[in-house]
Amino acid sequence: MSTTGYRRRLGDRKEGRRLRTLPALNLFTPYIMIQRNDACNQFAGSIEITETDRWLRSKRQEGYKGLGMLHLFIAAYIRVISQLPGLNRFVAGQKVYARNEILINMMVKRGITTDAEETCAKVVFEPTDTIYDVYRKMNEAVEAIRASDDSGTEKVAGALMKIPGLFLKFAVWVLRVMDYFDLIPMSLLRASPFHGSMIITDLGSLGIPPIYHHLYNFGNLPVFLAFGAKRREMELDRHGQPVERKYVDYKVVCDERIIDGVYYAAAFKHMKYFLKNPHELERAPEKVVEDVF
C-alpha cells in the first residue's frame, strides 16, 4: 500500500506514514482515548450466503480444495481497503498512521485436537489481490507453519518466557515504551500477533457462533473480526412459499480513532456486498484508492 513516489518523513513509522491533514478532532481523539480498549466499538452482522455457498462448492470442484468463508472474509476485507483505505489505519504513540501494507493476522492450530499448539500466521496482501491470491497466500502460510517446529511468534514468546517473572514484567514495559517511540525492530514486528491491519478468527471451524473479541492495548491492531458457523433458517420467499436459506453471523470490534462511524458503516456495507457477490473478487479492482496525507 506504499504511496507511489512517497518519501518517508520525520514522524512516520516503519509500518506507516503519519496522517497530517485529518480534521483536528480526529487528531485530538487519541489523546483522550489513550488505550485501544478505551476506543472499542462493537458491530454485529449476518450475511445470507445461500448463493455464496453454491459458488464456494463450484470452486472446490474446480480444484480449490478447502476454499471457504475464511478466504472470502479476508478477500472481501482486502477489497474494501482497496477502495476505503482509511480502514487500514492505526494509532500508535497518540498519532494516526496509514499502514504501508495490508497485513492480516490469523491464529492457526498445528493440529485439530484441543491440546494442539496455536501460533500466529501473518500474511501480507496487496490491494489488487483476488480471491485466488488470498487462497494461495493463506494456504502457503498455514502449510509453512504446520511444517515447521515453531514460528517467529513462538520463538519470540519462548525467548521472553526464559526471563524470570519480575524481570519479564520490566521487559514488557520496555517493549511498550519501544513500541510507543517506534523502536521495535521490524523483525519483531513481523513476528508480533499484536501488529497488523486486522486479526480474524474462524469460529465456524469450531462449530460455534462468533464472539466479540477485545482489541489489544499493546501493538496497533485496529480491527478484530470473528465469524461463526453456518446456520439455516426457514423463510418465506416473495411468493409466500417456505424456503431454506443459509446465514453466517460475524462480529467486529474496531478502534473508533482511525475512522468515524459513517466510514465504518460504508466499509461494512461494502464487505457484505462482496461476500454476497464473490464473483467480484475473482478479478482485481479497476483502481486502488490511496489514503489521504
Q: What are phi and psi of 12, to 5 degrees?
A: -75, 165
The string of pLDDT tens digits covering residues 55-67 is: 999 999 999 999 9
Residue 11, phi-psi category: left (phi > 0), alpha (psi -120 to 50), beta (remainder): left
The string of pLDDT tens digits covering residues 188-229 is: 999 999 999 999 999 999 999 999 999 999 999 999 999 999
Cα dihedral angle (30, 184, 126, 230), rounded to 10 degrees?
Answer: -70
What are the beta bridge partners of residue 225? Answer: 200, 252
CA distance 210 to 267: 19
Q: What is the C-alpha end-to-end distance of the chain, expressed in Å?
A: 13
Q: What are phi and psi of 289, to 5 degrees?
A: -90, 130
Pick the CATH number of 16-282 from 3.60.20.10, 3.20.10.10, 3.30.750.24, 3.30.559.10: 3.30.559.10
Please determine, for residue 94, whether its predicted confidence score (pLDDT) is greater than 90. Answer: yes
CA distance 154 to 159: 8
Domain parsing of the chain, residue ranges: 16-282
Contact criterion met (CB below 8 Å) for 255 and 91: yes
Sorted by sequence, the CB contacts under 8 Å of residue 114 that are 6+ apart come out as none
The band of 277, judged by pLDDT with boundaries at 50, 70 and 90, is: very high
Q: What is the pTM of this model?
A: 0.94
Higher pLDDT among residues 144 and 264, named by residue: 264
For the record, the C-alpha cell of 24 comes out as 483536528
How many residues belong to the chain?
A: 293
What's the confidence (pLDDT) of residue 283? 98
The band of 284, judged by pLDDT with boundaries at 50, 70 and 90, is: very high
